[in-house]
């Protein structure tokens, strides 16, 4: 179905009501669009700020029909929205990204096969769906990381395994569901690239981002990426674009890469995973770029022209997890925002979630400055004030 152009005044729908949907809604409304959110949670962050909130399950026929009635185009805010729901919506409205593309991102085995079809290397891996495949695993893949093929994110559904005995035990612990065993690589850096691809095949990209994860959850994003050469950054952008093009993708796509040593003594890029939506590592674009990843998402689904985003300020983004809402004794309290917001260049974004839980993404703090060194020093001070580990 043709994508737009849909001009401001039209209604843009989003499947999913979390923080990514909330920031999408804010971006769409800033451009003059009306918005509709489908999410079963009556208090979903995006639903609370949208013109329409359809509080049904993602496969509810009546809910999908209502969304198609009120929205002129639909997108998704996370990859685990059922692909079939997007396919159903696509019979009536433009949907970007398409259900078939989202289905690839929902399955690690299909995702890795897609990397290969795009000419992009990933870590050596094996699919494990049966006891026979488990027994036949190449010993060169150990030590490795066993990951569920579906529904894993932020470190969930992943187990580090050192040998065959640990691998068998881990597969049992994960319920013997379909899994992917990846060889554990010695990482130099973790990067991500966010690209936006229009229905006409035009691709624009945001700056390459350098990421730090703690316990499998993104903790810090830094832009410009301090450990990345222009040549390596260009290669990451090219590969992310190739991955999007191979899917005929329309929308915002984030591709995460590992940087590892190569056999010649240089550095090599290895694709880790991709997300068919704006990404946590791109939240800094709201404050540090002249077009955010969420505005790019609006432009893609509405068929508007894509502009090359410009980074106007070096930035660091600190993820704010629910742990910050608890003191050392486990008593819930509000973090001390005042001294943090007294620091120059700080931009606090809280997601409107009704309760804090440890490990739950509650917001983020972006620090911008005239130069990268100042941004990093200010971010380090903010982390200290909040009780976060040093950068």
pLDDT at 1 over 60: no
Least confident of 19-23, 286-290, 326-330: 326-330
Q: Which of 388, 322, 332, 317 lies closest to 353, judged by CA?
A: 322
Which whole number is the average pLDDT over 2-25?
92
Tell me the whole-structure pTM to 2 decimals.
0.95
pLDDT band at 291 (very low <50, low <70, confident <90, very high): very high
28-54 residue pLDDT tens: 999 999 999 999 999 999 999 999 999
Tell me if 221 sits within 8 A of 205, measured CB to CB: no
With 90 as the cut, is the pLDDT of residue 324 above it?
Answer: yes
- Asked whether the predicted pLDDT for residue 60 surpasses 60, the reply is yes
- Residue ranges of E strands in the chain: 11-15, 34-38, 52-54, 73-76, 125-128, 144-148, 158-161, 179-183, 187-197, 203-205, 209-214, 217-223, 251-261, 267-275, 315-321, 346-350, 361-368
Average pLDDT over residues 265-274: 93
CB count in 10 Å sphere of residue 119: 11
Q: Tens digits of per-residue pLDDT, 74-84?
A: 999 988 899 99
Measured between alpha carbons, how far is 205 from 254 in angstroms, rounded to an integer?
Answer: 10
Interatomic CA distance for residues 190 and 375, integer angstroms: 20
- Cα–Cα distances in angstroms (integers) from residue 214 to residues 29, 140, 256, 391, in the given order: 34, 26, 15, 11
Predicted confidence band of residue 167 (pLDDT cuts 50, 70, 90): very high
Whether the CB-CB separation of 297 and 251 falls below 8 Å is answered with: yes
Q: What is the mean pLDDT of residues 51-80?
A: 97
Q: What confidence tier does 4 reach under pLDDT thresholds 50, 70, 90?
A: low
- When pLDDT is cut at 50, 70 and 90, the band that residue 97 belongs to is very high
Report residue 266's pLDDT band, with 50, 70 and 90 as the boundaries.
confident
| Per-residue confidence band for 101, with pLDDT thresholds at 50, 70 and 90 | very high
Which residues are CB-neighbours of 253 under 8 A, at least 6 positions away?
97, 194, 195, 196, 197, 240, 243, 244, 274, 275, 276, 277
Rounded Cα distance, 125 and 318, in Å: 31
Cite the annotated binding site by residue number.
Answer: 108, 147, 152-158, 182-185, 190, 213, 272-273
Question: Residue 96: what pLDDT?
Answer: 97
- Least confident range from 81-85, 207-211, 261-265, 327-331: namely 261-265
- The tokens for 59 are 């496969």
Model pLDDT, residue 227: 87
Question: Are 55 and 32 in contact, with CB atoms under 8 Å apart?
Answer: no
Q: How many residues does the chain have?
A: 391
| pLDDT of 306 higher than 80 | yes
Distance CA 176, CA 198 (A): 39
Kindly give, in sequence order, each residue whose CB lies less than 8 Å from that of residue 105, ignoring residues fewer than 6 positions away: 79, 111, 274, 275, 276
Fold of 187-386: D-amino Acid Aminotransferase; Chain A, domain 1 (3.30.470)
- Asked: is 11-95 a CATH 3.30.413.10 domain? The reply is no
Q: Would you state the structure tokens that stand for residue 70, as one six-digit string?
A: 């009120």
Mean pLDDT across the stretch 101-113? Answer: 95
CA gap 83, 101 in Å, rounded: 8
**Is the predicted pLDDT of residue 204 greater than 80, yes or no?**
yes
**Residue 76 Cα to chain centre, angstroms:** 12
Question: Residue ranges of the domains in the chain?
Answer: 11-95, 124-183, 187-386
pLDDT per residue over 129-166, tens digit each?
999 999 999 999 999 999 999 876 666 788 999 999 99
**Whole-number percent of the chain with pLDDT over 70:** 98
Binding residues for ATP: 108, 147, 152-158, 182-185, 190, 213, 272-273
Overall average pLDDT of the 264-276 stretch: 93
Strand partners of residue 212: 220
Q: Are 51 and 33 in contact (CB under 8 A)?
A: no
Q: What is the CATH number of domain 124-183?
A: 3.30.1490.20
Nearest to 224 by CA among 369, 23, 361, 388: 369
Taking the CA atoms of 348, 354, 359 and 361 in sequence, report the sign of the dihedral they define: negative
């Amino acid at each position: 179905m043709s994508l737009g152009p849909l001009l401001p005044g039209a209604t843009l729908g989003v499947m999913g009501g979390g923080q990514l949907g909330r920031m999408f809604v804010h971006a769409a409304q800033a451009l003059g669009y009306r918005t509709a959110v489908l999410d079963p949670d009556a208090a979903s962050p995006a639903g609370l700020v949208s013109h329409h909130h359809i509080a049904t399950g993602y496969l509810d026929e009546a809910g999908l029909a209502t969304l198609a009635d009120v929205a002129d185009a639909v997108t998704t805010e996370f990859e685990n929205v059922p692909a079939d729901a997007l396919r159903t919506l696509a019979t009536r409205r433009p949907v970007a990204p398409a259900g078939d593309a989202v289905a690839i991102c929902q399955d690690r085995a299909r995702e890795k096969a897609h990397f290969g079809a795009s000419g992009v290397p990933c870590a050596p891996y094996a699919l494990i769906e049966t006891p026979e495949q488990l027994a036949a695993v190449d010993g060169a893949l150990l030590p490795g990381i066993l990951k569920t093929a579906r529904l894993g994110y932020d470190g969930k559904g992943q187990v580090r395994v050192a040998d065959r005995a640990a691998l068998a035990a881990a597969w049992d612990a994960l319920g013997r569901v379909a899994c992917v065993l990846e060889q554990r690589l010695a990482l130099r850096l973790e990067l991500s690239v966010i690209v936006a691809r229009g229905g006409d095949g035009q691709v624009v990209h945001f700056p390459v981002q350098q990421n730090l994860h703690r316990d499998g959850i993104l903790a810090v994003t830094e832009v410009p990426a301090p450990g990345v050469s222009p040549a390596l950054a260009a290669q990451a952008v090219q590969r992310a674009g190739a991955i999007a093009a191979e899917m005929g993708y329309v929308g915002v796509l984030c591709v995460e890469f590992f940087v590892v040593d190569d056999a010649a003594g240089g550095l090599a890029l290895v694709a880790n995973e991709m997300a068919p939506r704006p990404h946590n590592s791109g939240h800094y674009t709201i404050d540090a770029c002249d077009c955010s990843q969420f505005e790019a998402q609006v432009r893609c689904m509405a068929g508007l022209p894509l502009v090359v985003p410009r980074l106007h300020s070096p930035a660091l983004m600190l993820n704010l997890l629910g742990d910050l809402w608890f003191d050392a004794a486990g008593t819930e309290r509000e973090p001390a925002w005042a001294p943090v917001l007294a620091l120059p260049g700080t931009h606090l974004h809280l997601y409107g979630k009704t309760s804090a839980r440890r490990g739950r993404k509650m917001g983020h703090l972006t620090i911008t400055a005239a130069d990268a060194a100042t941004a990093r020093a200010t971010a380090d001070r903010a982390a200290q004030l909040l009780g976060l580990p040093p950068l």
